């Protein structure tokens, strides 16, 4: 097939998730974050890449897209992968020179230059999600005092009071102040919501880029993202949508979900491309599995919290345990595991892992269990690896399952 990729910006295929670590200093150059260049795709895969090519309209009745400048391009199949953008509409003063997001390479370069030239002393991070917490850690590594302001009552959008309390305690031990329930509607000179600062990072959430699709008559789902089926096809035959602009299915609830993560975007993109080329592949959905490092602490989440599960019609039961990631004689470090299950079916619904080591491995085990609709009874005796340098004989996941079974009765 003849394949053409249209990109509004100048850079393609880069690791946006690495931008906070570029600000922190662990990544020395943004060039390290670029996975592929347009020349690579054209040379190795026969894919034509056009940068600085902004699509302004989809004309599906004519199978054409219109570009800024008046050019029209024909297509047989179309994949929309317009992603998402920071939602700045509700914040006055977001265009000031000391206000930044961490959404693009260009913005990160600007922030890096600002840190070097202006040497700010106090920063406010607006938003308590993944980017907000990563931004706070990056700024602390630069010796800047940080205050996190978030509108909601919880961190990481998890609706989990226990998790928020643990994260708040840890952040404060790292000299990061956390203020929940604080709405930010304006950025004033020298302060935000009464907090003095000379630098502001806006990380209060993103919104899917759906304007092009909506204007073309493509249905937008109840999540606010483009509605797409398990083959990633939209309501208009021959048009597919993938990544942060599209919704998918939650494997625990079975309902449409919009959980914008790079892992999901990559998988959906592969499915959309294959099906646009004539395949019949399906994307099973997501559990919302994610992991973030917060000032040295690994925090992994998957599935539903108790509050989220109750809202979805389950009867949730929770167990929280503290254990060690290795035997004490092998310098085992504290690990916290939270598991949530449905009382009626005993099915696992979600969980959280916090610790310094192997958080990714443990949250991935739990995500696998969710994808396979495992019960707590089955999960309790999983054959997990044990050796003193790596794990205890009773893994913290299994200890948590035993405790959850007691709660279930």
Catalytic positions are: 17
Rg of the chain over CA atoms, in angstroms?
23
Residue recorded with tokens 């809202």: 311
DSSP 124-172: EEE--SHHHHHHHHHHHHTT-EEEEE-SSSSSTT---HHHHHHHHHHHH
- DSSP-derived letter for residue 375 is B
Q: How far apart are alpha carbons 199 and 111 in whole angstroms?
A: 9
Tell me phi and psi for residue 347, to 5 degrees: -80, 140
- Write down the H helix ranges in 161-320: 161-173, 211-215, 262-276, 306-311
Q: How far apart are alpha carbons 87 and 90 in whole angstroms?
A: 8
Residues 356, 342 contacting (CB under 8 angstroms): no
CA distances from 143 to 138, 171, 174 (A): 9, 15, 11
Q: How far apart are alpha carbons 148 and 170 in whole angstroms?
A: 13
Closest CA to 317 of 276, 282, 351: 351
């Amino acid at each position: 097939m003849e394949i053409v990729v249209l990109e509004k910006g100048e850079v393609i295929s880069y690791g946006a998730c690495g931008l906070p670590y570029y600000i922190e200093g662990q990544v020395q150059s943004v060039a390290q974050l670029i996975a592929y260049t347009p020349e690579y795709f054209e040379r190795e895969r026969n894919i034509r890449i056009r940068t600085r090519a902004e699509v302004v309209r989809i004309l599906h009745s004519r199978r054409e897209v219109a570009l800024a400048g008046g050019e029209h391009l024909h297509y047989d199949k179309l994949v929309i992968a317009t992603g998402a953008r920071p939602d700045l509409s509700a914040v006055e003063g977001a265009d000031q020179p000391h206000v930044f997001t961490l959404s693009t390479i260009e913005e990160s370069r600007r922030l890096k230059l600002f840190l070097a030239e202006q040497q700010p002393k106090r920063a406010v991070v607006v938003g308590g999600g993944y980017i907000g917490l990563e931004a706070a850690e990056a700024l602390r590594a630069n010796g800047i005092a940080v205050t996190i302001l978030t509108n909601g009552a919880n961190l990481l959008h998890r609706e989990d009071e226990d998790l928020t309390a643990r994260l708040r305690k840890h952040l404060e031990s790292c000299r990061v102040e956390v203020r929940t329930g604080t709405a930010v509607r304006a950025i004033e000179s020298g302060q935000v919501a009464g907090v003095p600062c000379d630098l502001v990072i806006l990380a209060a959430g993103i919104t899917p880029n759906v304007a092009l699709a909506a204007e073309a008559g493509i249905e937008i789902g109840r999540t606010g993202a483009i509605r797409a089926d398990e083959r990633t096809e939209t309501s208009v035959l021959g048009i597919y949508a993938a990544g942060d602009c599209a919704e998918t299915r939650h494997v625990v609830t079975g309902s449409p979900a919009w959980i914008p993560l790079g892992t999901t975007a990559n998988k959906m993109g592969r499915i959309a491309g294959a099906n646009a080329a004539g395949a019949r592949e399906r994307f099973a959905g997501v559990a919302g599995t994610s992991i973030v490092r917060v000032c040295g602490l690994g925090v992994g989440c998957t599935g539903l919290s108790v509050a989220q599960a109750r809202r979805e019609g389950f009867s949730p039961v929770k167990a929280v345990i503290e254990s060690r990631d290795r035997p004490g004689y092998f310098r085992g470090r504290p690990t916290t595991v939270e598991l949530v299950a449905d009382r009626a079916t005993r099915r696992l619904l979600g969980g959280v892992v916090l610790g310094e080591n192997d958080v990714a491995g443990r949250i991935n085990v739990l995500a696998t269990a969710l994808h396979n609709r495992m019960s707590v009874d089955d999960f309790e005796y999983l054959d997990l690896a044990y050796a003193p340098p790596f794990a205890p004989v009773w893994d913290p996941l299994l200890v948590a399952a035993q405790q959850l079974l007691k709660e279930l009765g």
